[in-house]
Structure 1
């Protein structure tokens, strides 16, 4: 048993570290920076105007802080996925709630057998569930934006071919496009109507979205528009690069699915072996009037299964996206399977 308790985690940690080194990670970083010169930029202020006195700047700063708080209440989900530290705090609160329920005896009433093991499983789930949620939502957001970006660039190139200006093309797309990018494109179109420069509006859009792929494509579009009016070839290169990136990402997902299936299959075999050993196999001796005390065996197998569920889930995330956060959903699924088998079947 010491070999199982120590060897399994150490072997899993070594393999996870090797996967981290040799596999490229998925880039889900959303980095934003505030462009502070927006209120008093040269394109808005008339000649000879000054931004105002110190009290005016403080008033605007307080107003911006109030608007940020309003935006949090208006879009709580967006605020939740913006920073993993918020999810970590929520996970800590859930852990404290679970410990409180265990302390007052509710766990012992619901799970009279394997109380400690079930408590460990639920504590792990409570700690990682808030972290899993923003990662999966962020992954979905990044995927949707990356899929719509090549279409956006291709539509701009097509409208430029028929003689439309770049601001006119963006305005036309903003009126008809639907999806994740539609809101940001509409903001760019409104800024252009109010007299903002095209490069400034596009730069502000890429900072609001905050994705590396978007920043790379929009920066290329901005530089191309500043250098030449013939941007068809440049946009074609950007679209081809993005589509190749998405194709390789989908190919990697398809390949990693096989390894995920192997991990789940091996974990399921262990659960099936535990059930057969402690239920079906032992029941075959009932005709011989022989009884066994399997309490210690069940506890040992339950403990080992908790270790397997945690590290197998993390390893599944490393293989699919080279990110520990990607494996949290697999950890939760495997821990739920563990509790169900050992509490309700065994």
Structure 2
């Protein structure tokens, strides 16, 4: 009886303690918790800013500048303006405003500024397109190998692990990364989406999306892999065929620019030089009023140099648009033609 009373007392105390509300936090404790929450919120906000916009650029400047070819203009465009404006102001300060009409140095600064802007973009675009082309050429073989291994009874993770040891060129690092992710427990569909995102090409995104959705639906994944391989192969072949067919037009653009330079060189070196000499001689005699006025040969040379440089730059853009379907792909031709026209007029004409 005494034991029952004692147990009842203990249970009653526990029941009373459970029914009571938790003790209220003191003002100091509440301030400490609020401070900790504010610090955590601030760290999360800082991390978010470091992943986008200027924060990401300051944290990973080289990665941001090279992930897309046009991003390099963040640095090149201001640098080219500094070169042109600095050269312009220095020449005007030394020789006066008439230097704009009497010297070609200002033209040289303008050409240098343009080249500073377009050469890095052209180099990065050429490198990126080479990477994309190598990846897309290797994709059909990768999908066919996966389909064949899946037909033999292997699971897709085992098939990926096996093909990760093969050589697929620029695609190999992405396949090994995918194999590592799947070995850490990531599912095939999620790993495939990450694989496509890492490749970063429209063709890879389309193929990966098709394979991932078919795998989710539970269909015959081997047939889907073969279909993706055939589709990728046809797209790559069509792109290569288009480049081969349009190569003749790129050559025509380059040849027409070369002919234009040749005609101008002949015109300046023979016809205009002769006319300038005749005009100068005529001014010294009474026949000046009957023959012609004085011909400003340097002004004609400068005019023709401007025409050649403008034609070379825009002809390069047209060659890129016709040859690869992108004007930015023509920057490499534009840079080469601009340099050639500048060298010809500065050192040979």
TM, length-normalised to structure 1? 0.72
For residues 297 and 136 of structure 2, the distance between their equivalents in structure 1, rounded to whole angstroms, comes to 54
Q: Cα distance, 1:74 vs. partner? A: 11
Give the one of 81, 88, 97 matched to 2:73. 88
Shift of 1:218: 1.4
Select between 226-235 and 135-144 the one with higher mean Cα deviation: 226-235
Match of 2:258 among 268, 282, 306: 268
Give structure 2 stretches of 5+ with no counterpart: 1-36, 96-101, 282-294
CA RMSD of aligned residues (A): 3.6
Alpha carbons 1:174, 1:185 under 8 Å: kept: yes
Q: Distance in 1 between matches of 2:308 and 2:277?
A: 30
Number of aligned residue pairs: give it: 291
Secondary structure in structure 1 of the residue aligned to 2:164: helix
Answer whether contact 1:170 1:185 (CA < 8 A) is retained: yes
| Pair 1:227–1:175, CA change in 2 (3 A) | same
Partner of 1:311: 314
Q: Secondary structure at the match of 1:153?
A: helix
In structure 1, the partner of 2:244 is 254
| Structure-2 residue corresponding to 1:155 | 145
Query: What CA distance in whole angstroms lies between the structure 2 residues aligned with 1:164 and 1:65?
Result: 44
The equivalent residue for 1:200 is: 190
Provide Cα deviations, 1:174-200, integer angstroms capped at 9, x if missing partner: 123342222222222122212121111
Alpha-carbon offset, residue 286 of structure 1? 11
Consecutive unaligned residues of structure 1, counting only runs of 5 or more, are 1-52
Partner of 1:48: none
- 1:195-228 CA distance string (max 9 Å, x none): 1211111112212222221111112222233344
- Higher relative contact order (CA closer than 8 Å, sequence separation 6+): 1
Instruction: Name the TM-score, length of structure 2 as normaliser.
Output: 0.71
1:343 CA displacement: 0.5
Residue of structure 2 equivalent to 1:37: none
The answer to whether the aligner puts 1:187 opposite 2:177 as a matched pair is yes
CA–CA distance in structure 1, aligned partners of residues 146 and 131 of structure 2: 22
Q: Tell which deviates more after alignment, 152-161 or 125-134.
A: 125-134
**Residue 144 (1) aligns with residue 129 (2):** no
* Cα distance in 2 between the residues matched to 1:289 and 1:88: 48
- Is 1:344 the equivalent of 2:347? yes
The structure that is helix-richer by fraction is 2
Q: Which runs of 4+ in 1 moved over 4 A?
A: 53-69, 71-78, 280-293
Q: Deviations over 1:12-36 (max 9, x none)?
A: xxxxxxxxxxxxxxxxxxxxxxxxx
How far is the alpha carbon of 1:128 from its aligned partner? 1.8
1:300, 1:325 → 2: CA distance?
Answer: 27
8 Å CA contact retained: 1:94, 1:126? yes
Deviation by residue 1:132-191 (Cα, 9 ceiling, x = unmatched): 233222211211111111111011012112221110010111123342222222222122
Number of the residue aligned with 1:210:
200
- Kindly name which structure, 1 or 2, has the bigger radius of gyration based on alpha carbons: 2
| Counterparts in 2 of 1:78 and 1:161: CA distance versus 1, 3 Å | farther
